[in-house]
Chain A
């Protein structure tokens, strides 16, 4: 079986400063990997490298058996909803439809089948009744759901979600967890940077601990042990009785 993602000693630098240093990982279809690390650790850079949007200084990345650029049509990216302009005059349905644009191709307009697929994706995230509303009038969590629906429309084999659980309400969180689980069952691989360790444990089987350089990759329970976390986060961790680790001193 072709791995969904292969990172081989990946290094990325900007202006002579190393942003990612020797990251190695291998993800099979149906796996879910949490990228854990403090702010500035290079998590977003790693996502962009997987998308082929930043050049590598060293190492290689293979996505779905091919180069990142060629794999892009089969990779879906879910950004954080607050990066988008809430005033923009688009409807929820139109945003979801954007996921189908690549398959529709240039020039042609979305047809009935595309609309049906978009509505189905919105059903999965429980927002089909808001299809005609303007994207910006929805709450933050709801907007994040629409972006997930957009990614589902793409019917991708690899899902990249940038901090999807940031600031969302608990019902959205539950919804995300169940949608992601359903996707994994269909063989879709998931990569998601996140701050939230408890959610990471719920959603993902693997973790990659990162702070410029890699502090571990593998099954999530093994990688996210207190010693490794302390090393990666420097002094910003707190270990409570019962060996629970709380990350302090980082925020969004």
Chain B
């Protein structure tokens, strides 16, 4: 690798900078890394945009359940030789239905129902997978992603899906916001809230499926929740926070990939850590900035 120039003893600023520049150069020059970067940024931005709605509708645990419990669909699709995304999507439907059915019993609350479906679904997938050979490698890629093996086709699918999702979200914007903040009011205003919920879940499932190559199942939730939550710390209105979340998500993809290249760590995981760190930092800084702002207003 082209890191040979910089000395490793004594982290002087210039050698760190040289490392970053070298990594960036690697990325720009290598087809593989360039694809990975574009994919990471698209997935990051997409996660941020739809993530705002996810957070507002409190669907984080449902998203976790979707990522885990659609695993058997992926395994079955692999066994039957059909498209993996289709298998995952089909099971996504089953998962939503299962959670709804389990939660209908008054004794079983929503979080318990989700927990049962999450674990049961995933275990089913593990079972199916262990029944045939090739356990470890496929499983890891599925769980934590392997963005460095992303194909051009994956990138195109991601880009197209992102556009579709953004268009649908734009069309449904008012309905989504209204039903999230005042469900009863929305229903009585004539909105078909159930259909909106289903549309949201469908978009969510599509996002997860598209994010799979980059960050895998467990970590895709990171890109859905962290950039969006960070944006919400700075900005109030949904529309503005969607834009900010997209920017933050894309940047997390970029920075995460560069850092993983420098530090030789798993790319998807690094992106997720960057996203989480961004949130943590904002958690600390945003109240301070808020206070400064309101203090200066009061003085004025």
List chain A positions with a Cβ less than 8 A from chain B.
Answer: 16, 87
The verdict on B107 contacting chain A, using a C-beta distance below 8 Å, is yes
B106 within 8 A of A: yes
Inter-chain CA distance A87–B105, complex, in Å, is 10
> Can you offer 3 A-B residue contacts whose CB atoms are under 8 A?
A16-B294, A87-B106, A87-B107
Name the A residues within 8 Å of B106 (CB-CB): 87
Q: Which residues of A contact B294 (CB under 8 A)?
A: 16
Main secondary structure of the interface of B (DSSP, over half): loop
Q: How large is the interface on B (under 10, 10 to 19, 20 to 34, 35 or more residues)?
A: under 10
The proximity string for B residues 286-300 relative to A, scoring 1 for CB distances below 8 Å and 0 otherwise, is 000000001000000
CB nearest to B294 among chain A residues: A16
Would you give the shortest CB distance from B261 to chain A, in whole angstroms?
44
In angstroms, Cα B294 to Cα A227, docked, is 39
Question: Among residues 49 to 65 in chain B, which have CB atoms less than 8 Å away from a CB atom of chain A?
Answer: none
Q: Which of B105-146 contact A (CB under 8 A)?
A: 106-107
**With A and B bound together, what is the CA distance between A16 and B106 in angstroms?**
40
Interface residues in chain B, defined as those with a beta carbon under 8 Å from any beta carbon in chain A: 106-107, 294
Q: How far is the CB of B191 from chain A (nearest CB, A)?
A: 24
How many Å from the CB of B144 to the closest CB on chain A? 38
Q: How far is the CA of A87 from the CA of B106 in the complex (A)?
A: 7
What is the bound-complex CA distance between A16 and B298, given in angstroms? 12
Kindly state the separation between the CA atoms of A12 and B71 in the bound complex, as whole angstroms.
51
- In Å, the complex CA distance between A16 and B295 comes to 12
A87 to B107, CA, bound (A): 6
Closest to B108 in A: A87
Query: What A residues does B107 contact at CB under 8 A?
Result: 87
Chain B residues whose C-beta falls within 8 Å of the C-beta of A87 in the assembled complex: 106-107
A16 — which chain B residues lie within 8 A by C-beta?
A: 294
In whole angstroms, what is the CA distance A144 to B107 when docked? Answer: 21
> In angstroms, how far is the closest chain A Cβ from the Cβ of B278?
25
Closest to B298 in A: A16
In the bound complex, CA of A87 to CA of B294 (Å): 45
**Bound-state Cα–Cα, A16 to B293, Å:** 14
B155 CB to closest chain A CB (Å) equals 45
**How many Å from the CB of A37 to the closest CB on chain B?**
25
**What is the CA–CA distance of A16 and B290 in the complex, to the nearest angstrom?**
13
Q: Give A86's nearest chain B residue, CB to CB.
A: B106
In angstroms, how far is the closest chain B Cβ from the Cβ of A139?
A: 17
A85 to B, closest residue via Cβ: B109
Closest-CB distance, B192 to chain A (whole angstroms): 28
Which chain B residue shows the least CB distance to A16?
B294
Q: What's the minimum C-beta distance from B219 to chain A, rounded to whole angstroms? A: 34
3 closest A-B pairs (Cβ-Cβ)? A87-B106, A87-B107, A16-B294
Chain B residue nearest to A88 (CB atoms) is B107
Alpha-carbon distance between A87 and B108 when the two chains are bound, in angstroms: 9
Give, as a whole number of angstroms, the nearest-CB distance from B297 to chain A: 11
CB distance from B213 to the nearest CB of A (A): 43
Complex-state Cα separation, A144 to B294, whole angstroms: 44
Tell me, in angstroms, the Cα distance from A16 to B107 when the chains sit together: 40
Complex alpha-carbon distance, A16 and B297, angstroms:
13
Residue of A nearest to B107 (CB): A87
Complex Cα distance, B110 from A87, in Å, reads 13
Cα distance, A127 to B87, chains bound together (Å): 56
Could you tell me the distance between the alpha carbons of A166 and B294 in the complex, rounded to whole angstroms?
41
Shortest C-beta distance, B299 to chain A (Å), equals 15
A95 to B294, CA, bound (A): 47
Instruction: For the complex formed, measure the closest distance between the CB of A36 and the CB atoms of chain B, giving whole angstroms.
Output: 28
**Chain A residue at smallest Cβ distance from B106:** A87
Report the separation of the CA atoms of residues A46 and B294 in the bound assembly, to the nearest whole angstrom.
Answer: 28
Q: Which residue of A lies closest to B105 (CB)?
A: A87
A114 to B264, CA, bound (A): 64
Bound-state CA distance A76–B201 (Å) is 45
Give CA–CA (A74, B294) in the complex, Å: 41
A1 to B27, CA, bound (A): 81
How many Å from the CB of B25 to the closest CB on chain A? 49
Determine how close the nearest CB of chain B comes to the CB of A138; give it in whole angstroms. 16
